[in-house]
Amino acid sequence: MNVIGNWFKLHFIENEGMAFGMEFGGGFGKLFLTTFRLVAVFAGYFILRNLVRQRYTNGLLVCSALIWAGAIGNLIDSMFYGLIFTDSTFHLAQLVPMGEGYGKFMHGRVVDMLYFPIVESTYPSWIPGIGGRPFTFFAPIFNVADFAISAGVIALLLFQNRYMKKGEPEPTTQA
Q: Per residue of the chain (175 residues), give pLDDT as tens.
A: 899 988 899 998 888 766 656 667 777 888 888 898 999 999 999 999 999 999 999 999 999 999 999 999 999 999 999 999 998 888 888 999 999 999 899 988 888 999 999 999 999 999 999 999 999 998 888 999 999 999 999 999 999 888 887 766 556 666 5
Tell me if residue 42 falls in helix, strand or coil.
Answer: helix
Query: Catalytic residue at 77?
Result: no
The DSSP symbol for 121 reads: E
User: Which H or E run includes 113?
Assistant: strand 110-115
Res 130: pLDDT? 93
Catalytic residue among 64, 68, 106, 112: 112
Q: Please, are residues 83 and 98 in contact by the beta-carbon 8 Å criterion?
A: yes
Per domain, the residue ranges of the chain are 25-163
Nearest to 66 by CA among 136, 152, 130: 152
In whole angstroms, give the CA distance from residue 122 to residue 80: 40
- Of 112, 117, 108, 98, nearest to 70 by C-alpha is 112
Backbone phi, psi, residue 40, to 5°: -65, -40
- The confidence score (pLDDT) of residue 161 equals 85
Q: Which of 74, 146, 149, 156 is catalytic?
A: 146
Q: Is 172 exposed, middle or buried (0-12, 13-18, 19+ CB in 10 A)?
A: exposed
Q: Report the DSSP pairing between strands 110-115 and 141-142.
A: antiparallel
Q: How far apart are CA 145 and CA 107, in angstroms?
A: 18
* Sign of the dihedral through C-alpha 153, 154, 160, 165: negative
